[in-house]
Amino acid sequence: MPDWWPALLLFVFATHGPFFAWRWHRTRELRHAATSVTFALLVLTYGLRVFAPEASVGDTPLWRIVRVPAWAAAALSLSLLAAHLVRKVTSSRASPRRPSSPPSSS
């Protein structure tokens, strides 16, 4: 990975996190909460990698340890998004569309 890549990812995750936190606050949907937690963990992961790469637990860099719950949060977030999309598609198929009324001849 190029040296600038972790800094770029930190920037991307830090800029997307507040939007999903706002969405969660507005809608109270669990999928936005999971996405907010995912972005927070990713910001922490890449923040540690950029600003404190020497921080470690034993021989393992701390940013690698934080990455594991970030993966779990991402998996949960994607699962909730998939469930939301399935519900959206099945509900749109279940509700019949009203046919447009023919123009009246007056």
Would you kindly state where each structural domain of the chain is located, as residue ranges? 5-87
pLDDT given at position 57:
95
pLDDT digits (tens, 9 = 90+) for 81-100: 999 999 999 887 766 666 66
pLDDT band at 31 (very low <50, low <70, confident <90, very high): very high
pLDDT given at position 74:
96
pTM: 0.80
Q: Which residues neighbour 37 within 8 Å (Cβ) at sequence distance 6 or greater?
A: 73, 77
Exposed/middle/buried for 65, CB within 10 Å: 0-12, 13-18, 19+? Answer: middle
Instruction: Using DSSP, state whether 103 is helix, strand or coil.
Output: coil
Q: Which residues in 24-63 are b (16+ Cβ under 10 Å) and which e?
A: beeeeeebbbbbbbbbbbbbbbbbbbbeeeeeeeeeebbb
Percent of residues, the chain, with pLDDT higher than 90: 81
